[in-house]
Amino acid sequence: MATDLRHCTKAPPVEQVARGTISGLRPSSDDPILGCCLGGKLIVEERIGDGVLGSVYRAKHVLLPQPVAVKVLHAHYQEDPGFRARFLAEAQAASVLDHPSLVRVIDFGEQWGGFMWLAMELLEGSRLDAVLAEEGPLPVARAIEIVLDVCAGLAHAHARGIVHGDVKPANILLVARPDDDGDAVVRAKLCEFGVARTMMHGDVAESGTRPALGTPAYMSPEQCLGEDLDARSDVYSCGVLFYELVMGDLPFDAADQRRFADRDRSRRASSALPPAVGGHVAAIVGRALAAERGDRFASMRELRAALRDLSGRLGSATVAPPASPPPSVSPPPPPDTELEIELTRVKARARRCTKRDPCVPTSDLADFIRARAELLDREKHALGELLLWGTPDAVASRVAKLVGRLEASRGRDVVAVETLRLLDEAVNLVPFAERLLSEDVLPGPYIERVLRRSGQASARALWAARISPGVDGPARRRRFVSWLVALGPSARDVLRAGLVKLSPHAETGRHADVVEDVLLALPARCDGDLLVAAAGFAKSPVPRVRELALAAVARSL
């Protein structure tokens, strides 16, 4: 039965909405949803795509200029209780997610007559399947960047008990967003949670056999059989995605259902990769596509760690070592190890250069300089990638190793010194700070070591992440205050500068939430210009801000 749209509220009259908005609507006789006003505020303007459970439209808010994407449950699903429940589950699943690599849900509603809709941020970008169709196989380095973004979003979802279940290029958008310097940075965003399922601590909350929803070519064996899913099912789909990005084709024939349990499928898929792609890629693909989920990567974080390691090995190159050397030749050591061995050998010869035994040959000195430069480039690339895409724990682990090398060498490890200088620039730390605010990261010695090492740069990055436009909420604000308090004296100048910047609004109450967060992060005793800056908000019209400002002054007197 078709959806009953008799009660669908049409666009408000011209006197309530700008004439330009109404004239831009072109309702079509075969699509009654066009022109509807959803929830009394979203005017449907244009159909832009279709998902598993519904069609996607562009809509405009009656009062706000920002357009949104609205998904409407397909008409033939509107009266099916199971699909209605799943559409509601998609809204609930996506609403608890807040990550740069996932689409953001804005609103959800149901019109009279059972007409359900879901409003999301409208993403302007290129669908990954269209990019593949136009460009063909992607360079390994670019494929890694895309899959790392997808894995980061999935790790965030898995931490909240949600399995996506439909990871594929058609559900991934490549969106260009300006960074702090105004340069466009392309990020991958995963959308379409129409077949998402819930789990709890690795055990699926939904149990029992159910219809195998999803796209068969990307579905794990257990998903094809309608069994319970966990994070490793998405790991399998990411393995298919990675293979398709570097090869331009799918690893398996989705129509061949009889071979889903074939244990040799992953081996055949990885062996199909050409030698130019490399053995490390084949190893990751083979493990991700294992038929038994216990043989796969245990989590998205584990898969991301393998991809980051591969990215570090690639460095500035686009190919990895050969997959399998001839039997008569022993496999070469990994690039990092090989370079470090060469660097150690040349260093030893350089130390033997004395006044009596004048010199290591010029060629050896050149080799030493070259080897050190290559190792530095590789280390800086690895830390830079982790700061950009990695989890806070992964960043902290890398920094701890570099600091340990520096301490062991008593400050003489030039590569470690130069690599750690990345932490001196706030712009490098903004993505790291963004994850500290958007994820539940427990303070610990490793994280605190990163903050202490970067000092004021971390405070500036946290400030930039806090005032950036986007989703905000109590949890994010609490994390901002906690991390600034953990920084201690290093955050003092940033707190003072923030209060000075906000001081023109002290008597108007504007940006009261930001002022409140800064005042909460002040040290127990403020001195000098920090105290003066805080006292400037003692006459704020916002009671909470006024109370915190007066308390800061009282503590310092």
> Any idea of the CA torsion for 443, 447, 448, 451, to the nearest 10 degrees?
-130
Alpha-carbon distance 551 to 314, whole Å? 54
Catalytic residues: 166
Q: SS3 of 317, please?
A: coil
Label residue 482 exposed, middle or buried (CB < 10 Å: 0-12, 13-18, 19+): middle
Extended strands (E) in 15-63: 37-38, 42-50, 54-61
CB 320, CB 279: distance < 8 Å: yes
CB 124, CB 77: distance < 8 Å: no
CB 59, CB 67: distance < 8 Å: yes
Helix ranges, 102-188 (H):
128-135, 140-159
Alpha-carbon distance 138 to 125, whole Å? 18
Label residue 457 exposed, middle or buried (CB < 10 Å: 0-12, 13-18, 19+): buried
CB 177, CB 210: distance < 8 Å: no
Segment (H or E) for 494: helix 492-502
CA atoms within 13 A on the CB side of 40: 1
Core vs surface per residue 522-535: b (16+ CB within 10 A) or e: bbeebeeebbebbb
Beta bridge partners of 70: 57, 119
Segment (H or E) for 125: strand 125-127
Label residue 81 exposed, middle or buried (CB < 10 Å: 0-12, 13-18, 19+): exposed
Tokens representing residue 394 in the block: 């992964």
